[in-house]
Amino acid sequence: MKKITVSILALFAFAFANGQAKEGQVSKGKWLIEANTGFGRNVGTTAMYFSSSDGITSYNIGAEGGYFIKDNLALKLGLGYGEIDGNGEPIAYKIGAKYYLKTMIPIELSYNGVGFGDADANPTYVGAQIGYAVFLGKNVSIEPGIRYNLATHKQYYDNSLQFNIGFALHF
């Protein structure tokens, strides 16, 4: 057990030591394409997920893209398509900004939602996310994080907490 613990600690130390962007991945003029997996309550999301219980299936597939308008700061757009709790086939959207603090701690603020139903009752959220970016090479990073979505129509929807693992390509 001691060897496993030491191995895990060494792996984390290596990730923290080598996980930083070193080759300009988050520099002005670069592009970002990412896909996220969502754990927790998936609301107005562009993440990829699948769940099924009691004969009701929910799924979503989506992606986000961004452009670095200055070093470490990207403006992002995202689209998703899926089915929530067996209701319709909604289109999810996201618009926001992502800042890489010290090139390895992504902080994101965004407005996201799903475009179905009555315009006054569409689920929309203002979300904040923070994580850690592990750069695996020149063009790929893995970004685990935590996201909180604040519902804008609280009479219809609740706030939610999500855990994400993002996979990003940097060009």
Give the model's pLDDT for residue 58.
75
When pLDDT is cut at 50, 70 and 90, the band that residue 153 belongs to is: confident
Residues 6+ apart with CB under 8 A from 165: 36, 37, 39, 142, 143, 144, 145
Q: Are 32 and 141 in contact (CB under 8 A)?
A: no
Q: Is the pLDDT of residue 167 over 90?
A: yes
Per-residue pLDDT reduced to its tens digit, 95-130: 999 999 998 999 999 998 877 666 566 778 899 999
Q: Is the pLDDT of residue 142 over 90?
A: yes
Q: 126, 91, 124: which is closest to 109 by C-alpha?
A: 126
Instruction: Provide the mean pLDDT of the chain.
Output: 81
> Dihedral through CA 154, CA 112, CA 110, CA 19, nearest 10?
120
pLDDT: which is higher, 54 or 27: 27
Residue 16 zone, left/alpha/beta (φ > 0; ψ -120 to 50; rest): alpha
Residue 152 has pLDDT above 90, yes or no: no
* Number of compact structural domains in the chain: 1
Q: Is pLDDT at 143 greater than 90 in this prediction?
A: yes
| Residue 87 pLDDT > 70 | no
Q: Are the CB atoms for 66 and 76 separated by under 8 Å?
A: yes
- Domain range for 61: 2-170
Three-state secondary structure call for residue 153: coil
59, exposed or middle or buried, with CB in 10 Å at 0-12, 13-18, 19+? Answer: middle
Angstrom distance (rounded) from CA 22 to CA 19:
9
Q: What is the CATH number of the domain that holds 25?
A: 2.40.160.20
If DSSP codes are grouped into helix, strand and coil, which group holds residue 9?
A: helix
